[in-house]
Amino acid sequence: MGFDYRLLGRSGLRVSDICLGGLSLGREGGDPCEAVLEAFAAAGGNFIDLANRYGEGEAERQVGAAVAGDRGRWVLATKYSLSMRPGDPNAGGNSRKCMIASLEDSLRRLGTDYIDLFWLHAWDFTTGVEEIMRALDHLTGSGKILHAGISDTPAWIVSGANTLSVLRGWTPFSAVQLRYSLLDRTAERDLIPMAEHFGLSITGWGTLGSGALADPESRQAANEDSARIIATLGQFATALGMTPAQVASAWVRCRQPGLIPVIGIGRVSSLDALLASRRLVLEPHHMEQLDAVSAVAPGFPHDFLQRDSVGRAIHGDAFGRITFPPARALP
């Protein structure tokens, strides 16, 4: 069972429904980068997620060399914002200066003249959205990047930036990247509904809880809630004859069908296990129990607005007789 494809946001770009995380590629103890990419491509994969800081640039260099013979087949994504020169105050952050310099460095390391998806890696709380969105629009106009995305940033900033871009006729974000797993579902409060509202693709990192869900026996749970989640996951994995990582991946796919997981794979055997997990469809009772044990409180204003008393105050006698759109659903 190979990969299927999704459109990136509202664009016509087709990306595989699993994104290969570049942080694990070519690392000591793993398979050669070329071997992993060859196996990924054979399964239909074409989407690779990188960043300037992964391996201090080595991940980009290795991927660039591996895809050089068929660059057009691949959707290469990389990021800027993290500093490669700690002593230089302008080498990190979201500014236009850092953006341009980082992009040029990534292009050289990758050995290509364009990036398919260029991510802002993490919000710096200093650069104005006007500067960022105008600079990204300039880069798409130049052809050096084809699409823009934003990672690890509050939902209100992303929504404001995209609204500004649409009003100004600039290139908006096509995708958002966020952390999401059984151990952390807080993105369900605002980030995921915001992305769905704006038609943004969602890529999720940490879907295996930074390894805690892949190998629970060798990891100590961070707290009692995490311990309960991991124990429930282990019980289902044993009953289904699958690994905890496979069940955790299947849960993400069933819980958020539109989310594209970013999976770090350093060995071809790990890719084989991932493909095997795609055949796993969790039963409703599995989903119900995993959902229950991993649930997060909606928080204000969501829990407040879900009260019947508030609904009646807003809608009067029509409360309970109105069909709300799916976007109203909350965790």
Tell me the C-alpha to C-alpha distance, in Å, between residue 259 and each of 61, 115, 179, 212, 232. 28, 22, 11, 20, 23
- Can you give the pTM of this predicted structure? 0.94
Average pLDDT value for residue range 270-295: 91
- Which residues, 6 or more positions from 324, have their beta carbon under 8 angstroms from its beta carbon? none
**Which pLDDT belongs to residue 34?**
95
Structure confidence at residue 328 as a pLDDT band (50, 70, 90): very low
Tokens 């009646």 belong to 312
Active site residues: 54
Task: Please tell me the predicted confidence (pLDDT) of residue 1.
Answer: 66
Nearest partner of 259 among 181, 184, 142, judged by Cα = 181
* Cis, peptide link before residue 154, omega less than 30° from 0: no
pLDDT tens-digit readout, 224-243 = 999 999 999 999 999 999 99
Instruction: List Cβ neighbours of 168 (8 Å cut-off, separation of 6 or more).
Output: 133, 134
Query: What's the mean per-residue pLDDT of the chain?
Result: 93
The 10s digit of each residue's pLDDT in 25-60 is: 878 888 999 999 999 999 999 999 999 999 999 999
The yes-or-no verdict on residue 218 having pLDDT over 70 is: no
